[in-house]
Amino acid sequence: MIQYLWFDLGYTLVKTNREEVYQKTLERFDAIRTLDEITMAYHRADKLFMREYQGVLGKDSKVFMPWYTGTLNYFLQLSLPIEEVIRVQLAVAKEQPVQWQAFDFTKSTLQHLRELGYKLGLISNWNHTAREVLARNGLLEEFDEIIISSEVGIEKPDSAIFELAFAKGKVTAEQSLYIGDNYYDDVRGCQKVGMNCLLINPYEKQGIEELDYQHVIPNIQDVVSYLGHSQVPLEIK
């Protein structure tokens, strides 16, 4: 029986306003794209990097940003000078900072799962800002255990980070379920330790066409029904 639910952080519980910032950046080049188009391009770029360049997105953005921006523009069918785009993007971000914000449903879903009797934990590949992101979004108090790669010196998909979580949570892999958006870090890491994993992908198979994996959900709201419970009541805030 599942007792403990472990969550990823980025694009599982929180997201950024990067699409709005990039839309304004493109406008400076007279390149007009809708937010939906930009959102999908970011999604496809993220998934490509997760698949082909594992671990790169967790590095300093200076390492991969020109590379990533070129990929993003490719999915947007744009041909623009990458260095100039990045310069303008940084300028726009000073006017409209890119910040991590919880999805509208994140806190209410976590609260509902706690009320149903589950313990909640976080296992995330993140830098020193992770607890600040959680606190700013009112999520810190929702977790029984928090395991952050930069604090423990281990990253997913290394089995050791999951085993550390089990030890801290006093739970087994069989009693746990992980929820994350990166197949190559999350699902494969869970498979190493025998823990089931729900993969988040908001756009059905788009971006993960290469995978033959059945346990895919659009967002964490579906964890509730997956576990056999009713969805979050509307009055929960």
Which of the four pLDDT bands, split at 50, 70 and 90, describes residue 231? low
Average pLDDT over residues 193-205: 97
pLDDT at 236 over 80: no
Last residue of a domain, one of 98, 131, 152: 98
Amino acid identity of residue 199, one-letter, is L
Residue 41 lies in a domain: yes
More confident residue, 218 or 56: 218
Q: Please report the pLDDT score of residue 62 as a whole number.
A: 83
Digit-coded pLDDT (tens) for 2-13:
999 999 999 999
For 47-78, b where at least 16 C-beta lie within 10 A, e where not — what string?
bbbbeeeeeebbeeeeebbeebbebbbebbee
Residue 65 lies in a domain: yes
Closest CA to 180 of 12, 3, 2: 12
Digit-coded pLDDT (tens) for 49-98:
999 998 888 888 888 999 999 999 999 999 999 999 999 999 999 999 99
CB atoms within 10 A of CB 43: 20
Same domain, 107 and 212: yes
Same domain, 217 and 107: yes
What rounded mean pLDDT belongs to the chain?
95
Same domain, 92 and 31: yes
Digit-coded pLDDT (tens) for 137-178:
999 999 999 999 999 999 999 999 999 999 999 999 999 999
Distance CA 189, CA 232 (A): 29
Closest CA to 144 of 98, 101, 113: 113
Quote the domain boundaries for residue 208: 4-14+101-226
